[in-house]
Amino acid sequence: MEVSRAAVLRFRVRAQELHRDDARSDADVLDLGVQDTGPDGAVWALAIRGAAIPQDDLSLAWTLRGAPHFYRRSEMAAVATATAPWSDADAAKRIFDAARPLKAAGIPVLKALDVVAAQMRDIAKTPVVKGEMSSQLTGRLDAPYLRECRPCNSVHAYEQPFRLAALRAGLELEPGTSPPVLRRIPRWRGPAANVPAHLDPVRGVLRFLGPATPKLVAGYVDAPVAEVTARWPEDVEKVEVEGRRLDILAEDAPALSGAEGTGVVRLLGPFDLFLQGRDRDLVVPDPAARKDLWRSLGRPGAVLAGDEIVGSWRPRASGRKLRLAVSIWGGSERPAELDTEAERLAAFRDVSFAGYVDA
């Protein structure tokens, strides 16, 4: 089946529920996790999908790529299993340079994560700030687990094993804390034995960022391509998008070929799921626009108009007023509906919208 780039974007907008305005107490994207990075973060990502979810129903944890994500609290045991490395090779890739000293010492990486997790859980008998947790870990862990950190002129645990071990230990992050506060998840009995299909990250990327290839999914999960390929679903259909051979879940194939445009305008946060696919050239074909949007430092948000990313935006806050610096690519005019979304963002921040400034 051949589908157009426009059809892929229409499919993703609908799969991620960006077209919805009805108030709801759940969101499908929680299946894959909603990244909480930046001043508006996950709560804004849920709000622009029409979801207002009580904080007590959500849990925040470091998972894929070591990034903080919100999930349904009732599913955290299964999330711990779903987002854990699948093998030692996978774990070694996910913790980057921290794997080298472990390998040299003959310590399997998964075993190392369990060692770190056990110590973290013991330390977190009461909520503990990340820095204090790190300090106590340093005194408990052997040399292969520790690194000399030149920026802070100290020795401490490697960052990625620290983050990936936290949920194994049954620890979540207290929302809104900076530096992060870790605390025990209530009634934790350990990771679940099985993962329901809707929490499988491979299927999740295909559902929300498909069609895709094992390489694209591996880039999102931060796992080796071979590991993703070994777990590739059987119920997929081949599609061709601008000469690329990709897979889509069979159950989503009708929606992919028949998705209609929405006409919505949204201010996407810098780490919104719509921007997290590894096929950035498909989402934003213009190289200069991609350079503007996906910066290494100080990443802006994106302006979604209909099914296309048409520009970038940055907040300019002063006191009780919010202004937006918006850059619409190609010299086009700002979408008329952008004012409504700007007012929505200002209300979300409990300030008033005071117009636009030069980008």
pLDDT in tens, 60-86: 999 999 999 999 999 999 999 999 999
Domain end position, chosen among 160, 190, 220:
190
Does 184 share its domain with 272? Answer: no
The answer to whether residue 309 is domain-embedded is yes
Number of domains within the chain:
2
Domain end position, chosen among 190, 214, 233:
190
The answer to whether residue 321 is domain-embedded is yes
Q: Quick check: 311 pLDDT over 80?
A: yes
Q: What is the CA radius of gyration of the chain?
A: 21
Does 95 share its domain with 184? Answer: yes
| pTM assigned to the model | 0.96
The answer to whether residue 307 is domain-embedded is yes
Residue in 71, 80, 57, 58 with CA at minimum distance from that of residue 167: 80
The answer to whether residue 149 is domain-embedded is yes
Q: How far apart are CA 130 and CA 136, in angstroms?
A: 10
Does 181 share its domain with 273? Answer: no
Residue 89, both tokens: 């090779």
Residue in 56, 42, 55, 40 with CA at minimum distance from that of residue 348: 40
The answer to whether residue 234 is domain-embedded is no
Domain end position, chosen among 174, 190, 206:
190
Domain extent, residue 146, equals 85-190
pLDDT in tens, 23-67: 888 999 999 999 999 989 999 999 999 999 999 999 999 999 999
The answer to whether residue 207 is domain-embedded is no
Cβ contact 164:114 at 8 Å:
no
The answer to whether residue 94 is domain-embedded is yes
Residue in 163, 157, 133, 4 with CA at minimum distance from that of residue 69: 163
The answer to whether residue 61 is domain-embedded is no
Does 91 share its domain with 186? Answer: yes
